[in-house]
Amino acid sequence: MKDVAVVGFAQAPNVRRTHGTTNGVEMLVPVFREVFDRTGLSKQDIGFWCSGSSDYLAGRAFSFVAAVDAIGAFPPIHESHVEMDAAWALYEAWLKIRTGEVDTALVYGFGKSSAGTLRRVLALQLDPYVTAPLWPDSIGIAGLQARLGLEAGLWSEKDMAEVAARSRADAAGNPYAQVREPVEVAELLDAPVVADPLRAHDIAPVTDGAAVVVLASAERARDLVERPAVITGIEHRVDSPALGSRDLTRSPSTEAAARAAGAGEVTVAELHAPFTHQELILREALGLGAGVRINPSGGPLTGNPMFSAGLARIGEAATRILDGTAERVLAHATSGPALQQNLVAVLERD
Amino acid sequence: MSAAGTEAPETPEAPLSAPLEVGFDYTRSVGPVLGEFVNALRERRILGVRGSDGRVHVPPVEYDPGTARALTEFVAVADEGTVLSWSWNAEPLDGQPVTRPFAWALIRLDGADTALLHAVDAGSPSAMRTGMRVRARWADEPVGHIRDLVSFVPADASPEPEPAPPSPPVAERGEGEPVSTVITPITLRIQHSASPEESRYLRALAEGRLLGQRCPVCGKVYIPPRGACPVDGVPTEEEVDLPDTGIVTTFCIVNVPFLGQRIKPPYVAAYVLLDGADIAFLHLVLGCAAEEVRMGLRVRAVWRPREEWSTTLENITHFEPTGEPDAPYESFAHHL
Amino acid sequence: MAKQLTAVLGTGQTHHRAKRTDVSMPGLIREAVDRALEDAQVDWPDIDAVVLGKAPDMFEGVMMPELFLADALGATGKPLLRVHTAGSVGGSTALVAATLIQAGVHRRVLTVAYEKQSESNAMWALSILPPFQMPVGAGAGGYFAPHVRSYIRRSGAPTHVGAIVAAKDRRNGALNPYAHLRQPDITVESVQASQMLWDPIRYDETCPSSDGACAMVLGDEAAGDAVPGGAAWLHATAMRTEPTTFAGRDQVNPQAGRDAAAALWRDAGITDPMSEVDVAEIYVPFSWFEPMWLENLGFAPEGEGWKVTESGETALGGRLPVNPSGGVLSSNPIGASGMLRFSEAAKQVMGRAGDYQVDGARTALGHAYGGGSQFFAMWLVGADKP
């Protein structure tokens, strides 16, 4: 089976609100152009296209259909779509290249979270018979998870604030980030709780955005970029939806995915944790020690574009290889309430 | 479902945007396991189900999380229990169980091994703590729905402070029959935005103009203009004023009524290709008997009175025949 | 090509009905899944991954329902993917599952598609009108009827051809114990006498609105070799997409469908589909799409698909039986409809199609399309290894 590498990444600015449509066209047209410029490819060179987005985020059935206009999809293209974060679209594209059927793929994700009330919309991911009819919002559920760990002594409010402070400090250097003002831990801890036990800094912002990653077979990748980021492992797992029967302080699906992907030693990890305490759960599940650089991009706490934030983690991690600053990196994406579903990718210098 | 009027944009050039409300009362058949659970709720009883590992799951799960086996052994549990974790919801959202600030909690009912996610109406976060005892507050008239459990309250709480919300709608069923379907209303409010290109077209419509745009790559004239030409992936640019005359390329006669329909059937839904445009759009053809509408029929727009114009194609009530000879099939065959 | 050989090990489906009010969504899905596991003679520990497909989440009012269904799908602790490619989704879901085997990642994959339309109202969900739009839309029938009219005009087909398809598929459905509509006594005349809904489409020429699910277990070469009586082997797969509308788009005979079919035949080494394919399960939600897709797929020259239908060649016993299971016209659980086509094709070459078995079927096509005739997914399966 063919090895697969990331050869390009581009993203739209992470912003609280765009004027664009919910089908993402206005965000996608420029990022497609950017990633083509960067790789020297054109749309005719792409063997397979795969995207991730959500009808419920857009409030419309078939909202992803108009997004293909941004491609200019005629003559017809070989294309697929997952109703998941586009990190899983990348997984599907990775499979396609592995089979040898194609040797390039373009993966994109987009979402306009600002079109609705995100924390309320996400309640519709819960069991529709006995849970969703109560409209438990995503922040409330994360708060339950955070308190379990706080009271079990697994993490402290200070640990959580440190995650936020580090994220913001790093985001100051990322022109695409939404929240870019550095702030001290003490200052964060002085702020009031907004969803006890969570403070504002514990919660990822509501973000509109889009991201694109270009994949190529390892052979093809060498012709396109100097240092392709070869995907040496990519795995994903899902946990039970029954929140009350899970140990919410752990992420067994992340542990299993990391084991299967051969996570091992890495120097950089981009983690898709929309809440500070979730990063702490993930670090434990992934066995990331103090020496590992977490979210040099600033991560989701400084910009969390739904349905592309997971893909952006892979793009950001790959960028450390592409720019020659790292040899072996890890990327993670999540989906569903309280880290229910998780994907882990390991990328290495060729 | 409904759509309200447009919002005033911040500047004349900002894309148009308007709220869209999407709502439906979903009818959920519950099947045997969840059916047992909701019918017990109607009698103010709470049932769990025993999992493959012996744990009692409340709420019941139909299939075991560990083995995927179907679960069928029901176990009655108490309507009191212990809070395992909680978070404070300072700004309740539409549809949530309590309208004033409340706590979300994972509650292990006595006799259960797993926790139920529900609201605790405790008044203030200072009244909440992990390990506290809570009891169910039941609806005055349970109907067989998870919302028969209005909320939980601290076990030592005095009588309920605010009136219970109304019960959810109930599905029709035979006299004495158990509940087999629960109804869950889902309403979302979405801010719908038109693209910048479409907004220019909509604003032109408000002036009685039909504004198309040409793709800078393929040169085709699109109406409405596009954020991306579907063939070339770039926004349409050069503006082209189009006449309000054209032809019917193809059409159907809608005879079927359906939920949410805004036009009374029968009506002719036709693809109208304006003179000078390279793509047709759907509109109504009236002004002649439905069976007289033909492919190639020459039509002209019938506009509403000027004072009713706004940023919508509905400014044109319909198209009607001009009486000119039909366009020959060969002239529009490539638009089908 | 480095693709691993891939086979269908077993299939399962629900009894499709307008309202399956006897089951929940998990219960509906498990009816199909349990039958597929039994048909494939595998148990949960044998399943490496699960791929779920369905049409818009708004049909059931659950956002990404695969998340709440993880336990019912036996996916907890395993990889779970959710595909959504509009009406073609049942087919593309099966293709994603196949890719997991072809890429050598897994040995056995469960793939499932479902729709429980009775939870809401599909016409409503498909006709939600955003602000600024003209309220002309009238669901899928209203969308496709003008293009059917274009086909009739372009091909010169006699108007009773649609009724021939409808009567055939409904009579076929009567042979299928799982079909939603089972009408052994329907005739071309009775179809023509039914109400005109979206002129030129009549009531009896439209698909029903169904609750239902379909599941398949796919496996690698070793797993396929172990299937008693023989597995269905994948000979080729294809997917193509084009935009919903663009200037000069051929909406009757879309290029994306023609390209997908050409790739399918090329990869399977087929030069004359009409003589080399024994049976086809084609996504025909409105009767006229049978002749339209016969042309699009290359079974007939452009403009002549209706002649194949009119001659009776697509009936059971004909040269190319199309939709012997009754097809979408007999059962339409939207998200599952495409997977039903794929699984019915597999059943034919496995000799498991019961009363609608095509004698000697060795090669079968499964086909699905969606959106505005713009998403296409297809596979060709055979009784022999490719």
**Where a domain ends, among A160, A195, A229?**
A229
3-state secondary structure of A218: helix
Q: Tell me the average confidence (pLDDT) per consecutive run of 10 residues in chain A, 350 residues long.
A: 94 96 95 96 97 94 90 97 98 97 97 97 98 98 98 98 98 97 96 97 98 97 97 98 96 98 96 98 97 97 98 98 98 98 97
Closest CA to B63 of B54, B74, B76, B51: B51
State the DSSP code for B275.
T
Interfacial B residues in 113-132 facing C (CB < 8 Å): none
> B52 — contact with chain A (CB < 8 Å)?
no
Contact A59 B61 (CB under 8 A): no
Closest CA to A58 of A50, A49, A67: A67
Give partners of A (≥3 CB pairs < 8 A). B, C
**Where a domain ends, among A229, A263, A284?**
A229
Q: Nearest by CB to B193, which of A19, A69, A195? A: A19
> A130 — contact with chain C (CB < 8 Å)?
no
Residue C1 binned pLDDT confidence (cut-offs 50, 70, 90): very low
Domain span at A53? 4-118+206-229
Contact A126 C241 (CB under 8 A): no
Contact B146 A133 (CB under 8 A): yes
Q: Which stretches within chain B are classed as H helix? A: 31-42, 196-206, 329-332
Give the full edge-to-edge strand order of the sheet including B74-77. B56-57, B46-50, B74-77
Least confident residue range of C23-32, C139-148, C235-244, C258-267? C139-148
**pLDDT, mean of residues B85-99:** 96
Interfacial A residues in 74-133 facing B (CB < 8 Å): 74, 112, 114-117, 119-121, 124, 127-133
**Whole-number Å distance between alpha carbons of B31 and B181:** 8
Same domain? For A223 and A328 the reply is no
Same domain? For A19 and A89 the reply is yes
Residue B303 binned pLDDT confidence (cut-offs 50, 70, 90): very high
Structure tokens at C57: 């989440």
Q: Please state, as a whole number, how many other Cβ atoms lie within 10 Å of the Cβ of residue C245.
A: 18
Q: Nearest by CB to B115, which of A139, A151, A244? A: A244
Closest CA to C257 of C384, C107, C147: C147
Q: What is the pLDDT of residue C340?
A: 98
Condensed to tens digits (0 to 9), the pLDDT of residues C298-332 reads 999 999 999 999 999 999 999 999 999 999 999 99
* Contacts of residue B44, Cβ cutoff 8 Å, sequence gap at least 6: B79, B138, B142, B148
State the first-to-last Cα distance of chain A, in angstroms, to the nearest integer. Answer: 16
Same domain? For A220 and A245 the reply is no
Name the burial class of residue C1, with classes exposed (0-12), middle (13-18) and buried (19+) by CB atoms within 10 angstroms of its CB: exposed
Residue in chain C closest to B1 (alpha carbons) equals C128
DSSP per position, C93-143 = HHHHHHHHHHTTS-SEEEEEEEEEGGGS-HHHHHT---TT--TT--HHHHH
In CATH, what number is assigned to the domain containing residue A290? 3.40.47.10
Same domain? For A163 and A292 the reply is yes
Contact A133 B168 (CB under 8 A): yes
Residues of C in contact with B68 (CB under 8 A): 44, 71-74, 76
Q: What is the pLDDT of residue A79?
A: 97
Interfacial A residues in 151-180 facing B (CB < 8 Å): 151
Condensed to tens digits (0 to 9), the pLDDT of residues A205-251 reads 999 999 999 999 999 999 999 999 999 999 999 999 999 999 999 99
Closest CA to C283 of C239, C321, C340: C340
Q: Is the peptide bond before A197 cis (omega within 30 degrees of 0)?
A: yes
**pLDDT, mean of residues B210-214:** 97
Structure tokens at A143: 């708060």
* Contacts of residue C366, Cβ cutoff 8 Å, sequence gap at least 6: C91, C94, C281, C341, C342, C343, C344, C345, C346, C378, C379, C380, C381
* DSSP β-bridge partners for residue B270: B251, B283
Per-residue pLDDT at B133 exceeds 90: yes
ipTM of the complex: 0.98
Count of structural domains within chain A: 2
Structure tokens at A100: 């040898």
* Contacts of residue A7, Cβ cutoff 8 Å, sequence gap at least 6: A39, A214, A215, A216, A221, A224, A225, A228, A229, A322
Q: What is the pLDDT of residue B112?
A: 98
Same domain? For A212 and A266 the reply is no
Residues of C in contact with B250 (CB under 8 A): 146-147, 149-150, 153
Interface with chain A: mutation pick from C48, C69, C84, C92, highest number of A CBs within 10 Å: C84
- What is the bridge-based pairing of β-strands B133-138 and B149-154? antiparallel
Per-residue buried b or exposed e for A284-309, using 16+ beta carbons within 10 Å of the residue's own CB: bbbebeeebbbbbbbbbbbbbbbbbb
Task: Please check whether the domain covering C7-122+209-225 is classified as CATH 1.10.10.10.
Answer: no
Amino acid in the structure at residue A91: Y
Same domain? For A190 and A212 the reply is no
**pLDDT, mean of residues B256-265:** 73
Same domain? For A216 and A251 the reply is no
Name the one residue in this structure whose structure tokens are 């990718």: A345
Closest CA to C93 of A81, B289, B71: A81
Name the burial class of residue B30, with classes exposed (0-12), middle (13-18) and buried (19+) by CB atoms within 10 angstroms of its CB: buried
Interfacial A residues in 131-190 facing C (CB < 8 Å): 132
Same domain? For A224 and A135 the reply is no
Q: How far is CA C364 from CA A32, A138, A269, C13, C313, in A?
A: 39, 47, 47, 19, 15
The greatest distance separating any two alpha carbons of chain C, rounded to the nearest whole angstrom, comes to: 59
Q: How far is CA C380 from CA A10, A165, C270, in A?
A: 37, 55, 10
**Whole-number Å distance between alpha carbons of C347 and C351:** 6
> A350 — contact with chain B (CB < 8 Å)?
no
* Contacts of residue C54, Cβ cutoff 8 Å, sequence gap at least 6: C60, C65, C82, C84, C89, C113, C114, C115, C334, C335, C336
Same domain? For A49 and A129 the reply is no
Interface with chain A: mutation pick from C68, C129, C369, highest number of A CBs within 10 Å: C68
Residue B8 binned pLDDT confidence (cut-offs 50, 70, 90): very low
Condensed to tens digits (0 to 9), the pLDDT of residues B143-190 reads 999 999 999 999 988 766 677 778 888 888 988 899 999 999 999 999
**Whole-number Å distance between alpha carbons of B297 and B247:** 5
Q: Quick one: residue A24, left, alpha or beta (phi over 0 = left, psi -120 to 50 = alpha)?
A: left
**Where a domain ends, among A166, A194, A229?**
A229
The alpha carbon of residue C354 is apart from the nearest alpha carbon of chain A, in Å, by 33
Interfacial B residues in 295-314 facing A (CB < 8 Å): none
Contact B278 C22 (CB under 8 A): no
Q: Please state, as a whole number, how many other Cβ atoms lie within 10 Å of the Cβ of residue C70.
A: 29
* DSSP β-bridge partners for residue B20: B3, B190
Residues of C in contact with B6 (CB under 8 A): 131-132
Closest CA to A102 of B172, B58, C238: C238
8 A C-beta contact, residue C108 and residue C217: yes
Same domain? For A192 and A307 the reply is yes
Q: What HEC string does A265-312 produce?
A: CCCEEECCCCEHHHHHHHHHHHCCCCCCEECCCCCHHHCCECCCHHHH
Domain ranges of chain C: 7-122+209-225
Residue in chain A closest to B194 (alpha carbons) equals A21
8 A C-beta contact, residue A295 and residue A270: yes
Same domain? For A39 and A89 the reply is yes
Angle at A118 between CA A114 and CA A120, to 5 degrees: 140
Q: What percent of chain C has pLDDT over 70?
A: 98
Residue C99 binned pLDDT confidence (cut-offs 50, 70, 90): very high
Cβ contacts below 8 Å, chain A against chain C, sum to: 184
**Whole-number Å distance between alpha carbons of B237 and A213:** 28
> B288 — contact with chain C (CB < 8 Å)?
no
**Whole-number Å distance between alpha carbons of B205 and B201:** 6
